[in-house]
Amino acid sequence: MKETFTITPRETALIQQYGLAPEKLQNCSVRSYSFGERIISEGRPNGLLFIITGGKAKVGVTAPNGKNIVLCFYISKGLLGEVELFSDTSAASTTVTAMNELRCIVIPTDRNKAYLLGNPAFTRIAASQLSEKLMQSTDKTVENTLYTAEIRLCRYILAAANNALFRDVMTDVSYSIGTSYRHLYRMIGALCKDRILEKTNEGYRICDMEQLKERAGQH
C-alpha cells in the first residue's frame, strides 16, 4: 500500500460530488493498493471511509465454516466503510481486497464523523449507494439459487476480470459460486478447451468475450 497526503484537483472534484467540502475534512489521504492487498479486514477495527477513484475491489464475508464468500465487486467508483460509519461500529463487517491497482481517497471517520453525518447531501448519496448494494445482494441470491454452476462461474469471471484478464483466489471463487474446488477447475478447463479462456502466467485471458457472455446468459 502506498499513501500520499496530496489531493489532486480530480480527487477534490470527486469529494465535492459527494456533497463534501474538502477544506472541512481533516487528515484525508490517497492510497494505492496492489492486487491481493486487503483494504478492510472483517472483524477488525476500520475507522476509515473510502471513496474509490479507480480500479476494482472484491467484497466478501466469512461464513461460520471459515470460507470466504464474495458478495460483489466495485468498479472505479463507490464508497467503502459507510456501513460502519452509519451503524456506529468500529469492527468492519466485510473484507475488501484489491482485484487490481486500486486507488482511493481515505477519510478518517473519527475526526470527520460529525461533519459527515451532519451533511444531508452526503448522507443522501451514501444511502442511495447502500440501497444499490442491497439490490446487488438480492440479485446474487437469485443467481446462486436459479443459475447453473457454469453460468455462475461465467458471470463471476465477467465481474472480476480486468482488461480481459481474470485472476483470483480459486478457493474464494469455488465458495462464492457454490461448487467444489475440483468441479471449478473442470469448468475452467472446459472453457479453455472451447477457447473462451486461455491460461497464462498472470491468470486466465478471456479470448472470446462474446461466447463468455453467452455462457453467462447475458445475451
**What pLDDT digit, counting tens, does each position of 32-54 carry?**
999 989 999 999 999 999 999 99
Decide if pLDDT at 166 tops 90.
Answer: yes
* Over residues 177-202, mean pLDDT: 95
- Whole-prediction pTM: 0.83
What is the reported pLDDT for 32?
A: 97
Three-class HEC string of 40-85: ECCCCECCEEEEEEECEEEEEEECCCCCEEEEEEEECCCEECHHHH
Residue 166, beta-bridge partner list: 204
Instruction: Mark 66-100 as b/e (b = at least 16 C-beta within 10 Å).
Output: eebebbbbbeeebbbbbbbbeeeeeebebbbbbbb
What's the CA dihedral at 209, 213, 215, 218 to 10 degrees? -170
**What pLDDT digit, counting tens, does each position of 131-153 carry?**
888 777 777 666 667 789 999 99
Decide if pLDDT at 71 tops 80.
Answer: no
**What pLDDT digit, counting tens, does each position of 153-164 carry?**
999 999 889 899
Distance CA 197, CA 182 (A): 18
What is the reported pLDDT for 217?
A: 85
Amino acid symbol at 196:
I
